[in-house]
Amino acid sequence: MVVLYSKMALAFRGTLRTLAKRLQVRTYAEAAKGDEMALTFAAGNKVFYDKVVVKQVDVPSFSGSFGILPKHVPTLAVLRPGIVTVIENDGKQNKIFVSSGTVTVNDDSSVQVLAEEAHPLENLDRGAAQEALSKAQSEFSSAGNEKAKAEAAVAVEVAEEIVKAASA
Amino acid sequence: MSAWRQAGLTYINYSNIAARVLRRSLKADLRNEALKRDESHVRITPWANGRPAPRLNKQTNSSAL
């Protein structure tokens, strides 16, 4: 009896599969297959990736930090200073600090990360970042007008982020 | 709305400041090369009657802060 049931189940599953194929229905497993995400990641100082197929990209943006996988909904966002993590196809993680810029996710799953300045974490100097932070802080307290104060506040915010990244 | 936006700064201003701070936070050997990008040079040649005017004006825009 049990054997009969499992045989029926198998036959049923087979029928379903042929039916799905005929109807061009995409099942979950199929949808995940064959999707590639080509990443272009460039800054004013360097091109890091040029249409390289990667697994995942995590970006810090003003609309929150988010991860991008293939088939992500098309998106535009402005970058905030922080670490962009690229997970390459072999699983290797590449962490790059970006100052600012834009990220674009297109309908064909291609991704463009364009930064004004970007450097791998190992190129950051914690001491220099701390120096930049205290300079920005003193500029903030001595700022004469609203605009200078806002500029210094941005510098403080960025320097704090760099110190955090360089300490990790 | 963020404070810098309220103070009249644009994202381009924000980006410039962020990039400048990042360049200053690099390891010493990379920093010197990077700091060259802080400056931008603009060369202006006024034209009059289809000829460049004799006075050549070279401006250096070194960003403050």
Tens-place pLDDT, residues A82-100? 999 999 999 999 999 999 9
Cα–Cα distance, A29 to A69 (Å, whole number): 15
Q: What is the pLDDT of residues A29-53, one digit of tens each?
A: 444 445 799 999 999 999 999 999 9
Query: In sequence order, which residues have a C-beta less than 8 Å from that of residue B19 and are 6 or more positions away?
Result: A44, A99, A100, A116, A117, B37
Give the side-chain half-sphere CA count within 13 A for A34.
5
B12 contact A CB<8A? no
Stretch B19-39: mean pLDDT? 90
Task: ipTM value, please give it.
Answer: 0.76
> Do A158 and B22 count as a contact with CB atoms less than 8 A apart?
yes
Q: Which residues of chain A have pLDDT under 50?
A: 27, 29-33
Q: Which residues of A touch B63 (CB under 8 A)?
A: none
